[in-house]
């Protein structure tokens, strides 16, 4: 069930202008480690990272600060320039020693999302290092929770127990960032990219922007508490597909009407409504580990359901549609199976 429905007049106005708009959307890249010696599933090799930055430069894409660009994208205020923001989750040491020097050579801004309990531990940045980079031009440091816990409500957890646990992690981390670094940035990155509607509500109540790990671009119809980012680890950040991601646009679907990511059936069904400018027969959707998935179309309503159940805790449906300029409109739905163990 959708958590928030925008007014019909706003939605119709925003979608009506879609077909004629030359406006670009914001692409956000998400990294963990930038290293050749850390776990491959969350690492971007040094050479690949350098190649990604070189491609951004060669394509003439503007690298922009995350918060201001996100707010402009949500307000429909971006112009025709292609823009990308660069983010790092967890504040790993390799970000400080390897990624930051490459970014600063190019004058690129970036954001580091910090889970505060880990700072100073082996393999992570120290508070002194965070304080050092905080004062540099174009650097933002923001909240990634206190303990990097799984923040969706657990099946054996009462609503009040969950609220106490989550609110403590959110607010303690923010207080530590204020105390240690003097910053109070209204942005949050969900640990593991996991969220549900109740957690989104906590983020909204605090006036924060909430970023996941599902792919896609941020546009005027995106939801401020489930914002997409493209994971850039080795498996997903290869250069042969990077240009399509860097030039992607948000599929013009009202993201606040998308379902809660916590599944009640396996496989789940994703349904959404497309505007006239989108032709359902040109939509292509994929399910994690299952490849291309057939669609059901009824008028302007599209339904996507994978043929087989999923065995993983987290998985996605990704849908794309060609754009007139050769880029792709992109929508990704993150799913979460709470019956599967936490990792």
For residue range 34-52, what is the model confidence (pLDDT) as tens digits? 999 999 999 999 999 999 9
CA dist 225 → 28, 178, 206, 212 (Å) = 15, 22, 11, 9
Q: Is 295 helix (H, G, I), strand (E, B) or coil?
A: strand
Question: Confidence band (pLDDT; 50, 70, 90) for 22?
Answer: low
Question: Which pLDDT score is estimated for 24?
Answer: 87
Cβ proximity of 87 and 111 under 8 Å: yes
Residue 40: half-sphere exposure toward Cβ, Cα within 13 Å = 3
Q: What is the pLDDT of residues 63-88, one digit of tens each?
A: 999 999 999 999 999 988 999 999 99
Q: Which of 176, 122, 121, 104 is nearest to 144 (CA)?
A: 176
Q: How far apart are CA 307 and CA 287, in angstroms?
A: 9
Strands 295-298 and 291-293: unpaired
Question: Confidence band (pLDDT; 50, 70, 90) for 212?
Answer: very high
Question: Which pLDDT score is estimated for 93?
Answer: 99
Taking the domains of the chain in order of start, what are their residue ranges?
9-247
Question: Which pLDDT score is estimated for 178?
Answer: 99
Q: Which of 91, 188, 187 is nearest to 133 (CA)?
A: 91
Residues paired with 305 in a beta bridge: 269
Q: How far apart are CA 242 and CA 258, in angstroms?
A: 26
Tokens representing 82 are 């292609």
Q: Which of 121, 176, 122 is nearest to 145 (CA)?
A: 176
- The whole-chain average pLDDT of the chain stands at 94
Q: Of all residues in the chain, what percent carry a pLDDT higher than 70?
A: 94
Q: Which of 319, 339, 334 is nearest to 30 (CA)?
A: 334
CATH of domain 9-247: 3.20.20.370
Question: Confidence band (pLDDT; 50, 70, 90) for 3?
Answer: very low
Question: Which pLDDT score is estimated for 9?
Answer: 36
Summarize the confidence of residues 103-126 as an average pLDDT: 99
Summarize the confidence of residues 174-183 as an average pLDDT: 99
Summarize the confidence of residues 315-327 as an average pLDDT: 96
DSSP state, 163? H
Q: How far apart are CA 339 and CA 343, in angstroms?
A: 12
Q: How far apart are CA 222 and CA 252, in angstroms?
A: 8
Cβ proximity of 120 and 98 under 8 Å: no
* Least confident interval from 6-10, 81-85, 106-110: 6-10
Question: H or E element: which one contains 59?
Answer: helix 46-59
Q: What is the pLDDT of residues 289-305, one digit of tens each?
A: 999 999 999 999 999 99
Question: Which pLDDT score is estimated for 8?
Answer: 35
Q: How far apart are CA 199 and CA 162, in angstroms?
A: 10
């Amino acid at each position: 069930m959708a958590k928030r429905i925008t007014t019909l007049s706003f939605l119709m106005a925003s979608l009506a202008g879609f077909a004629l708009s030359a406006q670009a959307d914001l692409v956000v890249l998400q990294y963990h480690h930038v290293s050749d010696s850390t776990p491959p599933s969350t690492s971007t090799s040094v050479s690949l990272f350098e190649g990604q930055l070189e491609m951004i430069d060669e394509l003439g894409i503007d690298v922009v600060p995350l918060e201001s660009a996100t707010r402009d994208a949500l307000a429909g205020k971006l112009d025709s320039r292609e823009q990308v923001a660069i983010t790092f989750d967890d504040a790993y040491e390799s970000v400080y020693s390897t990624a930051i020097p490459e970014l600063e050579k190019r004058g690129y801004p970036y954001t580091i999302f910090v889970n505060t309990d880990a700072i100073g531990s082996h393999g992570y940045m120290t508070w002194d290092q965070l304080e050092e980079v905080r004062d540099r031009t174009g650097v933002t440091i923001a909240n990634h929770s206190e303990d990097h816990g799984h923040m969706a409500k657990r099946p054996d957890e009462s609503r009040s127990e969950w609220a106490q646990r989550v609110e403590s992690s959110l607010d303690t981390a923010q207080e530590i960032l204020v105390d240690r670094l003097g910053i109070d940035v209204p942005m949050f990155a969900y640990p593991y990219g996991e969220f549900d509607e109740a957690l989104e509500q906590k983020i909204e109540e605090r006036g924060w922007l909430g970023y996941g790990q599902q792919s896609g671009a941020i546009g005027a119809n995106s939801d401020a508490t489930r914002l997409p980012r493209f994971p850039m680890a080795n498996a997903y950040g290869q250069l042969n597909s990077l240009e399509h991601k860097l030039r992607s646009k948000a599929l013009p679907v009202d993201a606040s009407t998308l379902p809660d990511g916590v599944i009640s059936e396996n496989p789940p069904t994703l349904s959404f409504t497309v505007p006239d400018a989108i032709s359902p027969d040109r939509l292509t959707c994929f399910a994690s580990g299952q490849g291309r998935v057939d669609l059901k179309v009824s008028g302007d309503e599209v339904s996507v359901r994978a043929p087989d159940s999923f065995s993983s805790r987290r998985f996605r449906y990704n849908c794309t549609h060609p754009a007139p300029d050769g880029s792709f409109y992109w929508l990704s739905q993150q799913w979460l199976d709470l019956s599967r163990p936490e990792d």
